[in-house]
Amino acid sequence: MSGCYSFSGINYDASKYNSISITNFSNPSGQGPSNLQQFVTEDFKDYFQRNTNLRVLPQAGDFQIEGSIMSYSFSPAAIQRSTTTAGSNVGLDQAGANRLTIVVQINFTDTKNPTNNFDQSFSGFADFPPTLDINQINQSQIRQITERIIYSVFTKTVANW
């Protein structure tokens, strides 16, 4: 099939674009689990393999993605005031939830059309119960966040939305 390829929202000329290279992500933030950059890289590759006909190459693809994990932060969210004595407004501010936010910097190169190139940060987050410590967050919960980031990158690159 030649011409513009628009399967599942994809918008690129399949006769011109055959491959994508996704380099191993770096983690200059030094935050997160030790294997964070490894599974973010693999999740990016898997997503593009599942949702396009592009061959994923280690380098020199028609499309090229380089990424860095810039931030992995856990902070209070949904601050609530708890009352202490007989319903008075005197009390403590407490987190009703904790939020994990991940920020990824993406450098995208379209070797066939450089006007599509960009260098942009993408972020995603999820809220967790206040009783959950950052060390208790597992890989599948982190992947919920990274999947949102990957989808945003996907739509900005090959879906061209």
Domain boundaries, the chain: 4-74+102-157
Report, at the CATH architecture level, how domain 4-74+102-157 is classified.
Answer: 3-Layer(aba) Sandwich (3.40)
What pLDDT is attached to residue 137?
85
Distance of CA 49 to the CA centre of its chain: 16
| Res. 15: pLDDT tops 90 | no
Q: Which residues are within 8 A (CB) of 72 and not within 5 positions of it... i.e. 6 or more apart? A: 27, 29, 31, 32, 36, 100, 101, 102
The pTM is what?
0.82
Strand 55-57 relative to strand 63-83, pairing: unpaired
**88-110 pLDDT per residue, tens:** 555 555 667 889 999 999 999 99
Residues 110 and 117: beta-carbon distance below 8 Å: yes
Q: Which residues are within 8 A (CB) of 2 and not within 5 positions of it... i.e. 6 or more apart? A: 14, 15
Among 2-16, 22-36, 71-85, name the one with the lowest average pLDDT. Answer: 2-16
What are the beta bridge partners of residue 133? Answer: none
CB atoms within 10 A of CB 144: 12
Percent of the chain with pLDDT over 70: 81
